[in-house]
């Protein structure tokens, strides 16, 4: 049996990416509020809609991890990689993610959540 069940991997990765998406959305909202936009409302509503989706998914992810006694810890990082520890049933699985991959995946998720917020 693998240390990390395949069905749990998306939940572990959500705990990496979703907090990043939330931070970006919060910063972007501040920039829109303070920025020289003529009509800020549509941008703020779009960001807020995406934020609600992300927060909801993050709550579900946290509940899943809690139910299954799983944790994600950020370990060390450098300019190329960031390492995370996936903890499951007393086992620790160390995984290194390329920082460029983290950024690109976060950008993909932002686009997806904006698309969901528009509908």
Residue-range domain boundaries for the chain: 9-118
The pLDDT tens digits of the residues spanning 20-52 come to 999 999 999 999 999 998 999 999 999 999 999
**pTM of full prediction above 0.85:** yes
- Does the structure show a pLDDT above 80 at 1? no
Half-sphere exposure of 19 (CA within 13 A, CB side): 10
Which two structure tokens, joined as six digits, stand for 9? 């991997």
Which of 112, 86, 96, 98 minimizes the C-alpha distance to 8?
86
Task: Supply 104's token pair.
Answer: 């690109």
Whether residue 11 has pLDDT greater than 70:
yes
| Order of all β-strands in the sheet with 70-77 | 70-77, 81-88, 91-98
Q: Report the C-alpha gap between 21 and 73 in whole angstroms.
A: 17
Q: Which residues contact 21 (CB under 8 A, 6 or more apart)?
A: 54, 106, 109, 110, 113
Task: Tell me the C-alpha distance between 107 and 111, whole Å.
Answer: 6
75-93 mean pLDDT = 94
């Amino acid at each position: 049996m693998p240390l990390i069940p395949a069905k749990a991997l998306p939940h572990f990765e959500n705990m990496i990416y979703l907090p990043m998406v939330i931070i970006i959305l919060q910063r972007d909202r501040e920039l829109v509020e303070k920025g020289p936009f003529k009509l800020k409302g549509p941008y703020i509503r779009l960001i807020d809609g995406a934020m609600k989706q992300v927060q909801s998914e993050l709550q579900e992810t946290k509940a899943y991890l809690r139910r299954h006694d799983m944790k994600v810890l950020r370990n060390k990082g450098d300019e190329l990689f960031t390492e995370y520890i996936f903890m499951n049933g007393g086992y620790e699985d160390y995984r290194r993610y390329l920082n460029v991959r983290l950024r690109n995946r976060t950008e993909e998720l932002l686009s997806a959540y904006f698309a969901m917020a528009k509908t």
